[in-house]
Structures are given as C-alpha cells and as structure tokens.
Structure 1
Amino acid sequence: MEVEFSNETFQFDLKIASFDIPPLATYPMFFLGLLLYLFSVCCNLLILALIIMQKNLHKPMFIILFSLPLNDLIGITAMLPRVLSDIVTQAHSVYYPTCVLQGFLLHMYGGGILFILAAMAFDRYIAICKPLRYNSIMTPSTVLIIIASAWGLDLILVGGLFFLHIGIPKCKNFISNVYCDNPSLLRLTCGSDLTINNIYGLFITATMQIISVSIQLFSYIHILVTCFLHRQSDAKNKALNTCLAQITVFLLFESVSTIAILSYRFKDVTPNVRKVSGMLIFLVLPVCNPILYGVKTKEIRTTLIMVVKRKRIACT
C-alpha cells in the first residue's frame, strides 16, 4: 500500500514490504535466519582475528584478503538483522535516515566485492607470474594503495549515487522491498525527472563490472599462460589453489546477482521469491566465503589447526 503526500509533509517513518509467511512458519524462519547470521559473523570474525593475531599471515595476500570478510560483515549486518526483526515484530516500518544508511551500506558491499576480488587477483598475478619481484612490487605502501583504491573508489561511486537523492521531492512512504536500496528509495519520489539518477546508476554498475572483470581476466589469463609455459605440476597446483576460491566467489556473486535481476523480469515469479532472490546477494557470499577460504587457502587452514591445537594443550 502506498500513501502519497506533499514533500512538505514527508514523514520519516516509512512502511516497508514484508514476506508472506504463514504464522506457524514465522519463528522457524526467524531462527533459520538467525543461525545463518551468527554462523557468518563468527566465521568471518574468526578469519579477521587469525589475520590480525597470527604473524605468519602478515603477508600482502592476507592483508588484502582482510577486506573480504570485513566487507561480508558489512553486507549481511546491514541487511539481515532488520529483516529478521520485521519477521518477528511485524512492525514493517523503517526510519528514513536508517533506510538511506542501509541502502548505502548494501551498495558499498556490492561494489566492495568486485573491487576487493580485483585487488586479490592482481596480487595473485604478481605472486605467480613475477615471483622473483613479488616482494619488491608488493611492498607495504603498494598494498596500502591497492586497499585504499578499492575502498576509496567504491565510496566515491556509491557516495555519488546517494548524493543525487538530495533535493529530490518525495511523496510516497512505501519501500517496495524488504530492505532499502537505491531503486526502492527512488520510488518514493513522484513527478521528478530521475534521468540523471538512472544514468548514473547504470554508469557506476558498468564501471564497477568493467574494472573488476578487466583486472581479473588480465590476471587469470596471465596466470594460466604462465602455468602452461612452465610445465611443472607444482606451479599449476599453486595457481589452482590460490585462484580457485577467488574465481568461485566472483562466479557466485555474479550468479546470485543475475538471479535477482531475472526474478524481476518474469511476471510469473512470486513476490516472496523475488525478495529472497534479492537477499541472496547479501547472504550467499558472507556465509560461503569463510568456508571457501578456509578450505582452499592452505595457510589459513593450517594456522587455524595450529591455534586449536595450542588451545587444547593449554587447557590440559
């Protein structure tokens, strides 16, 4: 239900869409979502703690990797707790500034995934294709520039997207999704020309994809060429073990994003499926990434095992 009013009387309390959940399924859905959230938070915090506290992980690869679980925590925390709260309380309302902040953080998460994966791919390119120069190229200052560029470019592009909301008259109070994002916020307006907003939205989406995909393609193609030119099996295994997790994360992100987009293109798709499809963007990677990097990254796996063994010895 949408309520229209003049911009002068715009209310800060907005109504937000909800899931059509049978009463008996309310608490099972809530506890399932809560378990996913707690699992993601605990696993991502564990990886962050390992990278911070274990000196053997104080390497460029893991310093760059540090941004990935941090970004995952931003994405899932910005989205899931508020949705779970609505499922239980049935309040289905959101404060406008909170809605804008949620939308901003969710878009930062999406752009962050692409830029961080590009930074990680570049690091693997240097490590595998230029191993003798790795330490001279990936100096602390270079790593800092790479990380700052990834987060800074994301902040500038997404910040510009939400800056364009300033001054746009709003005359509706209904968010058509279960979480706030740029499209749902734009639907609060009426009678305004949103051409610039739409063009800029497409521009930053294309820019993020082009930059990320270009860097990753460049890096992984050169890695494959290097592996085939140097036919040692250990070189091939190193390339697969260090890059497979990153490629999997990228493909997962692109897949869930495509599913979410397609769910709005087909009329036969139910509203609940559309809402869940959109949520997958902020659920799948924060839950799967710790598992992928825990399994595929030998240093993280062995470090975790070593820490657990130390704790057991200390407790005996």
Structure 2
Amino acid sequence: MENASSVTSVILTAFYEMEDLKYFYFAIFLLVYFAIIAENVILIVVIYVHRALHEPMYVFVCNLALNELYGSMALLPPIMSNLVSETHEVSLPCCQAQTYCLHTYAITEFTILAVMGYDRYVAICHPLQYHSIMSVSNVYKCVVLSWLLPIIAFGMFFVQTLNLILCGKIMERVYCSNYSLVKLSCTDTTISNILGLFSLFVYTLPQIIIILYSYVHILRVCFHSKESRMKAVKTCSPHLLAIFNYSIGCFFEMSQSRLNMSHVHYGARIFMSLYFLIFPPILNPAMYGMSIQAVRVRIFKLVKIEKSENSSSFT
C-alpha cells in the first residue's frame, strides 16, 4: 500500500488496454472533439446572431450547447494527452479538477433539460400566458439556477472527497470520477458512499419531478385535439430524445462504476463510461439544429452564404 503522504498522482490503467491502437484512438477522439466544438459553436452563433431566435426555448438550447462544450473540454483534451503519454499518470490536483468539472457538467445538463421540459409544458399547456410566465427575468433566473445549483451543490459535497487521505493510485478508467477517488481512500468509505447515494437523489430528484410533471400535463393536453398532438410531437421530440440519450448514458455509467462488470469486455466498459460524456454533446446540437425549423433554416442560410462567398472569391 502506498504511503498516504506520497500519493500526489493517479494512474489511469484503462489506457494500457488502448496502447496498441493509441494513435488510432487519438485520431477518433480528435475528430469527435472537433465535431462537438463545430456543432455546438454553430448552434450558439446562429441563436445569438438571429434576434428572432431570442426566445426562451432557444436560450435554453444555447445554454445546453455551452454546457456540452464545457464538459467536452474537461474530458477529451486530457484523454488525448494521456493516450500518447508513456505513464498514463495524472497529477492529483488535475484529477480532482477533472472530477469536479465532469460532475458539474452532468448535473447542469440534467438541470437544463428539466428547465426545458417545463418551458415546453408552459408553451403547450398555457400558450396565452407563455410570455408572461417565461418572462425575460424568469428565463434569466432559470439559467442562473441551472448553472449555480450544480456548481454549489456538488462543490459542498466534493469538499469531503478533497479531504480524504489516499493510499492507492490505480484507477481503472480513462478519466477521473468522484467514486473512483473515494475508492482510493485509506479509511472506511461507508459514510462517503452513503452520502454519495444521497447526493445523487438530491441532484436528480427535483429535475425528475419537473420533467414528469411537465410531460404528464402535456399528455393530458394531447388528448384534446389532433392539433395539440402535432404541436407536442413537433416541439417535444428533440427534448425527449435528449433526455433518453442522457438517461442511457447515466445508466451505463452507474452500471459500470457501481456494479461488478468484470464479465464485460474492457472495451465495452470504456464505451459505457464515455457514453454520457460524448454522445449527448455530439447528438444534441444535431437533433436541435435539424428538428427545430427556425434553427435549421438559419443554419442552411449560413452555409449557403459561406458557399456563395467562397465561389465568388474564385471568380
């Protein structure tokens, strides 16, 4: 066992399984990172530039894209750096910083999705009061809450992890997580595990209640008329797909980190741990960009303008 005072770094052993094809994986992660940056930046720019898109729904979509850039920045550059590293060793402060960023990303993502669900409920169930309920001040409050709640709530819990004395330094992952750090502790982690499960409910239960409340009322309205059903399908489809995609990723992460998955292939476990950190950021902007007509039209116009400018420069 390592001396507690000497543990200043952790070794991410999952990278050893990728050693033979590390440059191939590096290229894949680099392409994924560029795709995430391009998709989300284009979506943010289109929403920011066109004043017609300065509506609550698009403001929340924009914040979702910002959060996905934040989460991807905390995940992919360190993974690519560790892939080409000889030791796959990460300093403890960097590991702790990555843990904080990835967990706040995850909580913020779910919180914004919950707020977006409530926005769709107001738009469908109370269309005449929509702009009074989702006023500029209320939208700003929702946005600030979506960012501050995870930062403060997880920060208060994460202090306990930072105070743990670590004896081990082997982490069988490609990135740092809170549960993996807790498992490296010298002391009994029963209280930490109980607090971790309790905090999981604190971080997710309010959002689940908001989403369920919103969609129960949306379903009730859908039974009234065909027009209501069409409006609900049109406006809620990308949001439901985003929630479904995020939920699958969380299920994969919880399964492979909390359960005994030794019977599952190592590559499958790496994929499961990365799903909710890679697929929502790469799929959500595509779903919202293509599903929402107002955004789709403006993206196509932007692409056409760039093409016409490029063609004119050659003439």
What corresponds to 1:4 in structure 2?
Answer: 2
Cα deviation code 1:212-264 (max 9, x no counterpart): 121111111211211221x143x322211211111111111111222233344
Asked if 1:184 corresponds to 2:177, the answer is no
Shift of 1:170: 1.9
Distance 1:140 1:205 in 2: 31
For 1:293 and 1:90, locate their aligned partners in 2 and report how far apart those are by CA, in whole Å.
40
- The answer as to 2:247 corresponding to 1:250 is no
1:37-71 CA-partner distances (Å, limit 9, x unpaired): 11011101111111222111111111122111111
In 1, distance between residues paired with 2:285 and 2:123?
22
Q: How far apart in 2 are the matches of 1:289 and 1:266?
A: 29
| Contact 2:19 2:83 (C-alpha < 8 Å) held by counterparts | no
Alpha-carbon distance between aligned partners in 1 of 2:261 and 2:194, rounded to the nearest angstrom: 23
Task: Compute the displacement of 1:85 (Å).
Answer: 1.8
CA RMSD of aligned residues (A): 1.8
- Preserved contact between residue 161 and residue 178 of structure 2 (Cα < 8 Å): no
Match of 1:288 in 2: 283
Q: Which residue of 2 aligns with 1:29?
A: 25
Deviation at 1:26, TM superposition (A): 2.3
Alpha-carbon separation, structure 1, partners of 2:306 and 2:243: 35
The Cα shift of 1:199 comes to: 2.0
Task: Report Cα offsets for 1:10-49 as digits up to 9, x if no partner.
Answer: 34233222331352x2222211111111101110111111
67, 76, 79: which is aligned to 1:83? 79
Match of 2:175, SS?
Answer: coil
**1:312 CA displacement:** 4.1
Q: How does 1:1-316 map to 2 (within 5 A)?
A: 4-5=2-3, 7=4, 9-19=5-15, 20-21=17-18, 23=20, 25-190=21-186, 192-229=187-224, 231-233=225-227, 235-263=228-256, 264-314=259-309, 316=312
CA distance in 2, matches of 1:276, 1:240: 31
Cα deviation, residue 313, structure 1 = 4.6
CA distance in 1, matches of 2:83, 2:162: 31
**Unpaired segments ≥5 residues, structure 1:** none
3-state secondary structure, aligned to 2:84: helix
Gaps of 5+ in 2: none
Residue correspondences, number:
308
Distance 1:50 1:247, change over 3 A: same
Contact 1:18/1:86 (8 A) holds in 2? no
The residue type equivalent to 1:302 in the other structure is V
Identity of aligned residues (%): 31
Q: Point out the structure with the larger helix share.
A: 2
Letter in 1 for 2:229: K
Code of the aligned partner of 2:155: G
Give the letter for the 2:171 counterpart.
I
